[in-house]
Every structure is written in C-alpha cells, then in structure tokens.
A and B are shown apart, each in its own frame.
Chain A
Amino acid sequence: MSEPIIETRSLSRRFGALVAVKDVSLSVTRGEIFGVLGPNGAGKSTTIRMLCGILDPSGGSGTVVGYDIAMQSERIKERIGYMTQRFSLYEDLSVVENLTFYAGIYGVPRARRRARVDAVLERSGLGERRKQLAGTLSGGWKQRVALASATIHEPPLLFLDEPTAGVDPVSRREFWEQIHGLASDGTTVLLTTHYMDEAERCHRLAFIFRGQLLDVGTPEQIIERRALRALELETEKPREAAELLRQQPEVDEVAHYGHVLRLTTRGDVDPAAFARQLLERHGIAVQSSSASRVSVEDAFVSMVREDEASRPQAA
C-alpha cells in the first residue's frame, strides 16, 4: 500500500475550556473517498480545518500531502481543494469569471488557465452556462460550479465540508457520480456528510462523536463490528409492540416506518425468532415479517446511543 495522503496522530483542538477534537488519529490512502460522519458540533469541521492548515491544532500532529499541518500550512493550501460548508461563489461574476479567478488564486499558470477552465466546464456539464452570473444559478448548478472551482488546479486531495447540504436528490446523485469520477482519476476525497445514504457511497468512513473518533473502516466493516441484525414486521398493535420490544436488552432500536416496525437487535440475536416469541407471549400477533439490511445509519445510531449510555448521567 502506498503512503497515506493524510496521517494524524492524537490530533486535538481546544477552544478555551471546550475540547472540540480529542486524540483523533486517522490515516487516509491515496485515491480513497473518505467520509467523516458525526452529529452537528461533533468536531468534523474543526478536524477538516486543522487538516487544511487554517486552524492550528492544540495537541498532536499530522501530515497532509506530505507536509506538516502546523508548520507548513501554506504548502498544504496550494495542493488541496477545499469546498467550505457554505461554499460561496461571487454571485456578481459569471461562471467562467469565477473559475478563472480561482485558477489565478491557486496559481494555475496564465497560459493554462483557459484550458483548465474549459476542462472543468466540460467535466461538470457547465458549458452552456458559462456566461451566466453565478447568483442566478439554482442550488445544484451552484454546487457544480463550486466543485469545479475547488478542482480547477487539479489538487491530489479534495476536502468537501457537507457538500450536498440543501441540494435536491437528483443533483446529489449527479454530484456523487462526479466524486467517483474524480476518485477513479486518482484524486483523494475527504468529505463530511449528514446523509447516511451518502456515507455508504464512501470507500471508508470515520465516526466522530463529541470530538472523539468512535470507529474507522469500510461501511461493511463498521456495520459488521456492531453485530446488528434488522427486521421489518407488521402487527395489529404496533405501539404496544414497540413499547414492549424497547424494554428488551437485546433490542438496539425500534422505529416506525409507516405501518411497518423496523427492529434492530444486538449481539447477532435473530430478530425474527426473538420478536415472534416475545410478542406472541404477550398476545400480539405478528402478521408478517421480513429480514432487512443493516445500514450504516443503524450502526451510527447504535454507536451514539451506546456512547451516551456509557457516560455518567449529567443534567
């Protein structure tokens, strides 16, 4: 395996008394799509900012594209693309003007700027809108211009901070096709997201919660490590059934999906047999049930719940 493009050791950041990021050790391989998941305020953005060299770590160390994040942040900035959380284009500039500006800012030589702008326009399908003012574009198109701007200088590493927030589902899908295209051309992508379906499109994931790294691995590994199993079932009394199931230590979560209850169990307990036995003992008939795939979301929720339960109850 080639050397990692991002490597951190016990990276920490404090803001006064608040510990935003604590002892995060990560390693990201070249060409990976690496997803960072976590609830709001978990420390995702703080971690990205430290990796990009715009925020000094208060503890630990790390290298990004071969440079030290504390000492050589200016070198890092030249070699990465970064789409901030609320990526803002110059709304009073056209698509081409925006792209040309960023090409200049990122030091693309004058002679190559036009060719690079044309290349990213082509790749992102923006050709026809090149003269349009960025402010008049819809959300999905703005996001394309943003991605095009962030990759105008062909960076080997791309940071995307919640890139699809507020973008419609169709645009999100097209966006992910572009991300995979970039990755297959050798670009490493590190992104944060709230969308669990997006998490499953990443090669590897990291869970950050309360500033700490809870788990790292491929989506499959993460799901497997939780040893969860899932079942969808229908009963006449879904409320009572859910109430009953939730009290069992084997049950990780019960959630309503329309008329259907979705049950996840811990410790590789077979949810079908378990539910049928329990409910029938209490006189609730199970009308139908079918096994369901355990998702990253299940693993994520389970991990957060477990972490919360393990903490002393504070008011």
Chain B
Amino acid sequence: MLGRPIVIAWKELLQLRRDRMTLAMMVVLPIVQLLLFGYAINTDVRHIPTVIYDQDRSAASRELAQSLRVTGFYDLLGEVRSYVEIENALRSGRARAALVIPVSYAANLRTGRTSQLQLVVDGSDPQTVGSAINTASGLVAARSSQLMLAQLSRGGIAPVGGAGLEPIRLEPSTWYNPELRTAVYVVPGLIGVILTMTMVMLTAMAIARERERGTLEQLIVSPVRRVELVLGKILPYTVIGYVQMSLILLAGRLVFDVPLVGSLQLLYALSFLFIAANLALGLFFSTLAKTQQQAMQMSFFFLLPNILLSGFMFPFESMPRPAQLIAQGLPLTHFLRIVRGITLKGAGFADVSFELVWLGAIFAALVLLTSLRFNKKLV
C-alpha cells in the first residue's frame, strides 16, 4: 500500500514549493559550501611569501634564490637588508618566511666548506612551518648534492656511472591526488557533509513542524500508519539529497576539476544507505524535539563532531583512540571512505563492502531507536 506515503510526499513537496527560503537554501547551500571549502580550506601550502636577506650578494647566492622561486612553493617578494626588516615583514604578515644567505656563501662553495643557510618561518601557522621547512630542506639537500657532484667532476675524479650521471634527487611520489590539491580531497567529502547537514535537519524539522503546528495530532488520529508516515516524509528528502549530491559532483567537476575515477552508478546506489541513515537520524531527533528550533539545534550539535571526527578535516588515523571510536558510530565516517574510494581511487563494491556493513548497522540501530521512540498513541 503505497498510496498514503505518496499522498504525504506530495504534500511535503507542495509545502516545499511555497517555502522558497528552504528551497533556495537546499540548492544554494551545497554550491556555496563547495566554493568555500574548495577555495578556503587549502592545506597544501604553495606560494609562501618569502623575503631574501642576501648577505653574500654573489652570483651563486642569486642562483640559490632563483632555484627556490622556481619550485612554486615560494614567492620571492624581494630583498631585505637586515634582521629588523625580516622581523617587520613577518610581523606585518607581508612575508611568512625569510631566507638568510650568509656572507661567505660563494666563498665557502669554492673552498668546499659548509655554508649555514637560515630559514626564518612564521610559526603562527603550523601548517606553513611544516610545509616551508620540508620543501626548503629537500631543496637544499638536492642542491648541495648537486653542487657537490659538480665540484667532484670539476676536481677531475671520474663520476661513477659515467655519462648518465645525474645529481641525486629526492623524488616524492604521491598517488591518487598527485598534485596534492585539497579540493580533490575535500569535494567528495563535502557531498557527505552537505547530505548529513540537510538530510538530518530537514527531516528533524519536518516532523517537529507538524508537532509544533498541531497537524501531527491530526495525522495520529487518522488511519495513517507509522511506517507510511515515515516513508512519506523520507521520500521527498531522499530525492533532494540526490539532487544536492549531483550538484556538488557537477560543480566539483567544473570548478575544481575533481576526477571521477570509479563508477557513478555505484556511487549513487551506495549513497542510498547513507541518505537513509541520515534521514532515520533526523526522524529520531524529531521524536526528541518539541519545536523546530530544538530540532535545528540538535542537528547543528550533531554536525560538529561529524566535521571534526569523520576524517573530513583531519585524518582519521591521526586521531586519538577514543575519538576514533566515536567516529566509527558516525555514518559520515564510513560514507567518506566510500565516496573518496569511488571518486578518487576507482574502488569497486568489494573494496567498500566493509564500510557498507557499518552503514547498514548504524541504519538498523537508528530505525530501531526511532520506532521505539515514535509512539503513535499519544499520551
């Protein structure tokens, strides 16, 4: 008997059509979030504004500065003449790093003594520090070995390996997201975050609204069964969830060039369980909330641990054990692995089946909890 759920779903859509604000939010929100997260949350540090304090002022020192610039990690803002100027540049935020080349740099190169280069980094942003130091030391290591080899060959000692001689190079290799662009990582995750946010909130509010306006009692005295009511409420929001998901995927493709390596059909099929779990959670919240405002607050309260713990912002592996345990109970944690697996790595059903089991278990638990709470008989 699917008649009544459809009647209820149709009513929800009619109401939604008149609620322009909510409707706009559901379409605009994913796009705004996508741009926000895609552009603003950039954990790969490139173009660090850098000043050079070249005490040596030699051809060799200028060459070193140039090699720093061409990596793309540093933007050379210009030269400074003293440590005071470095401090001014860092404190004002004009620069985030400064390279100090000592007076004896060129001379030391010639005589084969070690030069001490100094990299001053603004430590107020730890992410910049790590990135700047890593790149610089890698660069300097490569450069020094290059120089060393050059010196050796100049000194007449035949290099091992003869003509094919190459300076030792550090070759970092990253798979799946070779340019380490954050957007590629963030956008698929964002599908999960947006779905969590809207699905939980919309369903929680959909029932709370009926309770607040007194129409729920009218439904309770009608022959509508619990499961029919729940189905009718869930149906339209599932459709909205898929629309949002498609929007994010499309915008991610167009704006951030996010690849889709795996099967789109598989992604859509598996997302159903995730959407369903979130809707069930929204319904559960609605059984607790007396007003729409409470429902909204609960949804927001739920969203925060999702963003922080699920692996959306911070790697799951680096979290302490208790946080990991909590995260296992969040649908988003598992969906993130599924969606990243499919879009970035081309994972198949078998690869993500373990996460599916988790999602299924969470969904079943929520449905059980909700039906226990959602008592159709009023007291």
> Is B215 interfacial (CB 8 A cutoff)?
yes
On chain A, the residues within 8 Å of B19 by CB distance are: 92
- The tally of CB-CB contacts under 8 A between chains A and B is 71
> Is A137 interfacial (CB 8 A cutoff)?
no
> Is B321 interfacial (CB 8 A cutoff)?
no
* Binary contact readout A1-33 vs B (1 if CB under 8 angstroms, 0 otherwise): 000000000000001000000000000000000
On chain B, the residues within 8 Å of A92 by CB distance are: 15, 18-19
Check if A107 sits within 8 Å of B223, measured CB to CB.
yes
Of the stretches B3-11, B200-208, B364-372, the one at the interface is: B3-11
Q: How far is the CB of B203 from chain A (nearest CB, A)?
A: 17
Within 8 A of B (CB), among A47-64: 49, 52, 54-56
On chain B, the residues within 8 Å of A77 by CB distance are: 221-223
> Is B225 interfacial (CB 8 A cutoff)?
yes
Chain B residue nearest to A83 (CB atoms) is B218
On chain B, the residues within 8 Å of A78 by CB distance are: 223
* Binary contact readout A80-118 vs B (1 if CB under 8 angstroms, 0 otherwise): 001010111111110001000110111100100000000
Q: How far is the CB of B377 from chain A (nearest CB, A)?
A: 6
> Is A307 interfacial (CB 8 A cutoff)?
no
Check if A54 sits within 8 Å of B220, measured CB to CB.
yes
Check if A90 sits within 8 Å of B15, measured CB to CB.
yes
On chain A, the residues within 8 Å of B215 by CB distance are: 88-90
> Is A308 interfacial (CB 8 A cutoff)?
no
Q: How far is the CB of A308 from chain B (nearest CB, A)?
A: 29
Chain A residue nearest to B229 (CB atoms) is A105
Interface size range on B against A: 20 to 34
Check if B14 sits within 8 Å of A52, measured CB to CB.
no
Check if A49 sits within 8 Å of B378, measured CB to CB.
yes
Q: How far is the CB of A202 from chain B (nearest CB, A)?
A: 22
* Bound-state Cα–Cα, A194 to B379, Å: 23
> Is A174 interfacial (CB 8 A cutoff)?
no
Q: How far is the CB of A24 from chain B (nearest CB, A)?
A: 18
> Is B178 interfacial (CB 8 A cutoff)?
no
* Bound-state Cα–Cα, A55 to B224, Å: 16
Check if B4 sits within 8 Å of A105, measured CB to CB.
yes
* Bound-state Cα–Cα, A55 to B220, Å: 11
Q: How far is the CB of B231 from chain A (nearest CB, A)?
A: 13
* Bound-state Cα–Cα, A77 to B221, Å: 6
On chain A, the residues within 8 Å of B7 by CB distance are: 101, 104-105
On chain B, the residues within 8 Å of A84 by CB distance are: 214, 217-218, 221
Check if B221 sits within 8 Å of A52, measured CB to CB.
yes
> Is A74 interfacial (CB 8 A cutoff)?
yes
Within 8 A of B (CB), among A126-142: 133
On chain B, the residues within 8 Å of A88 by CB distance are: 213-215, 217-218
Check if B219 sits within 8 Å of A82, measured CB to CB.
no
Check if B15 sits within 8 Å of A93, measured CB to CB.
yes
Check if B377 sits within 8 Å of A101, measured CB to CB.
no
Check if B221 sits within 8 Å of A105, measured CB to CB.
no
- What DSSP secondary structure best describes chain B's contact surface? helix
Whether A93 touches B11, Cβ cut-off 8 Å, given contacts A55-B378, A105-B219, is yes
On chain A, the residues within 8 Å of B11 by CB distance are: 90, 93, 97, 101
Q: How far is the CB of B357 from chain A (nearest CB, A)?
A: 36
Residue B222 contacts which of A87, A89, A93, A106 (CB distance < 8 angstroms)? Answer: A106
Whether A15 touches B222, Cβ cut-off 8 Å, given contacts A92-B19, A104-B4, is no
Chain B residue nearest to A98 (CB atoms) is B11
* Binary contact readout A218-244 vs B (1 if CB under 8 angstroms, 0 otherwise): 000000000000000000000000000
On chain B, the residues within 8 Å of A86 by CB distance are: 214
On chain B, the residues within 8 Å of A55 by CB distance are: 377-379
Q: How far is the CB of A139 from chain B (nearest CB, A)?
A: 15
* Binary contact readout B218-248 vs A (1 if CB under 8 angstroms, 0 otherwise): 1111111100000000000000000000000
* Bound-state Cα–Cα, A97 to B376, Å: 25
Residue A106 contacts which of B8, B223, B378 (CB distance < 8 angstroms)? Answer: B223
On chain B, the residues within 8 Å of A104 by CB distance are: 3-4, 6-7, 10
Q: How far is the CB of B326 from chain A (nearest CB, A)?
A: 37
* Bound-state Cα–Cα, A133 to B19, Å: 13
Q: How far is the CB of B284 from chain A (nearest CB, A)?
A: 22
* Bound-state Cα–Cα, A82 to B215, Å: 12
* Bound-state Cα–Cα, A87 to B215, Å: 7
Chain A residue nearest to B376 (CB atoms) is A54
* Bound-state Cα–Cα, A147 to B219, Å: 15
Chain B residue nearest to A48 (CB atoms) is B221
Check if B225 sits within 8 Å of A97, measured CB to CB.
no
* Bound-state Cα–Cα, A86 to B211, Å: 12
On chain B, the residues within 8 Å of A110 by CB distance are: 3
On chain A, the residues within 8 Å of B218 by CB distance are: 82, 84, 87-88
* Bound-state Cα–Cα, A54 to B218, Å: 11
* Bound-state Cα–Cα, A90 to B8, Å: 12
* Bound-state Cα–Cα, A87 to B378, Å: 16
Chain A residue nearest to B378 (CB atoms) is A54
* Bound-state Cα–Cα, A107 to B3, Å: 8
Within 8 A of B (CB), among A185-239: none
The 17 sampled A-B contact pairs (Cβ below 8 Å) are A49-B378, A52-B221, A55-B377, A56-B377, A74-B225, A82-B218, A82-B222, A84-B214, A88-B213, A92-B18, A92-B19, A93-B14, A101-B10, A104-B7, A107-B4, A107-B223, A133-B18
Nearest 9 A/B pairs, CB to CB: A104-B7, A88-B214, A77-B223, A78-B223, A82-B221, A88-B215, A92-B18, A101-B11, A105-B222
Binding site for A on B (CB under 8 A): 3-4, 6-8, 10-11, 14-15, 18-19, 213-215, 217-225, 376-379
List 18 other contacts, CB 8 Å, given A104-B6, A107-B4: A54-B377, A54-B378, A56-B377, A82-B218, A82-B222, A87-B214, A87-B218, A88-B217, A89-B215, A90-B15, A90-B215, A93-B15, A93-B18, A101-B10, A102-B222, A104-B7, A110-B3, A133-B18
